[in-house]
Every structure is written in C-alpha cells, then in structure tokens.
Chain A
C-alpha cells in the first residue's frame, strides 16, 4: 500500500496570509491526525478526524482548523499566519477505529516557513 502523502512539501508564506495543507492517508485508514513539530517542542497534537468528524482537538487557537472528506483525505488550514506558526506539520493515519491503540503512520510532513 502507498504510504501517507502530504502536499505541498514546502511552503513559504508571509504574516497575515492563510495556508491550506493536504494529507492523503493510507488506503482504508479512517483516522487522520495532525501534529505541529518545532525544535524543542516535540510533537504537538492539533486535531484528529474520523469519518469526516473532528473527534479530538488539541490546545491550538481557532486559527487552526481542519476537515476530512468522504475518501478520508484531510486538509488543515491556518489563517492569519504568525511567525510562530513556522514548523513542520505532520499528519498521521490509523486503521479502523484509529486513535490510541492503533499504530499511527506518519506522512513526510509539510515544512511551513512564515516570513
């Protein structure tokens, strides 16, 4: 099976702009989670979608939003970008019920730089 894919791989934006990142999970996986990774902060959980519904949410401001489509592909959107949003954004998919007890498979990430 093809792995988790993310597009684009690199993005450069300026403060105040918005950005949309895309994630295609492994075929058959219904759970998609998003993480923000910055040096020294590890993997910060953003949100998780399961069957087109946001099932879990981390402690990020409302500028961060997401959605999942019927084919399980997911997008995340960040509005009014700030310098601190510069990070590697990773998505991960899990099979079946997903969430905690299933292995999470990560995508290669999207490197977002905000100038």
Chain B
C-alpha cells in the first residue's frame, strides 16, 4: 500500500520567516495530494491540495509543489504568522474509492 513520509516532525521559525514541510510517497499511481492544518484542540481542515497534472499551486501565503518523478511534494508558507502555529498533515491518494494515506504530521511553531 501507499506509504507517506513527512519531515520535519517539528519546525520552529520566527514570525515573518518562511516554512517548508516535505512529504514523500511510495505509490506512483497516487494523483491527489491534500494538506490539512490542525490547530490545537480543533479538527483538521483542508488548506490546499494539488493534483498530479499540476506542478505548483498557490493560495496567498501558501503554496504546494509536486515532483512526480521524485515522488515528493512540499508545503511552503511565506511570511509566517503566530496563527500559522499548528500541526500540518500531508496526504496522498490514488483517488476514486481509495482513502488518502496521511503523513505523521509536522508541528509548526511560529515565534512572535
């Protein structure tokens, strides 16, 4: 089955810095890659996703890049703010009836 590795497990940055979280996947048939943000005590919420026919997608300060050849994708957050502090999960899926496989999560801490 699919295996998703996520790094780093913890990331500490100063407000205004950029943050990058990387994930690798094993199944070359995976074609859908969502990212979820889970604030303390709250539910995971989708913040951005990318499909395999696209190499990059941006939404304001957040961007995701995908390298299908290397089977890795990354989340980029620019100009980080304290409210970006949360656990971020990546996932990979083959779509259809297949369930996404999640990474173990990255705890992002943004220091004011």
Residues of A within 8 A of B (CB): 4, 33, 35, 40-43, 45, 48, 50, 55-56, 90, 97-101, 103-109
Q: Does the CB pair A98–B97 fall under 8 Å? A: yes
Name B71-112 residues within 8 Å CB distance of A: 89, 93-105
Q: Does the CB pair A56–B98 fall under 8 Å? A: yes
Write the chain B residue with the least CB distance to A48: B99
Which residues in B have their C-beta under 8 angstroms from that of A98?
97
In the complex, 23 of the A-B residue pairs with CB atoms within 8 angstroms, ordered by the A residue number, are A42-B89, A42-B104, A43-B89, A43-B105, A48-B99, A50-B97, A56-B98, A90-B44, A97-B96, A97-B97, A99-B96, A100-B32, A100-B93, A100-B95, A101-B32, A101-B95, A103-B46, A104-B100, A106-B36, A106-B43, A108-B42, A108-B43, A109-B43
**Contacts A50-B97, A98-B97, A100-B94 given; does A90 touch B43 at CB 8 Å:** yes
Which residues in B have their C-beta under 8 angstroms from that of A97?
96-97
Q: Does the CB pair B99–A56 fall under 8 Å? A: yes
- Alpha-carbon distance A104/B89, docked complex (angstroms): 13
- Alpha-carbon distance A35/B14, docked complex (angstroms): 32
Q: Does the CB pair B93–A101 fall under 8 Å? A: yes
Extra contacts, 11 of them, besides A42-B104, A50-B97, A101-B32 (Cβ < 8 A), are A42-B105, A43-B102, A45-B99, A45-B102, A56-B99, A99-B96, A99-B98, A100-B95, A100-B97, A101-B31, A101-B95
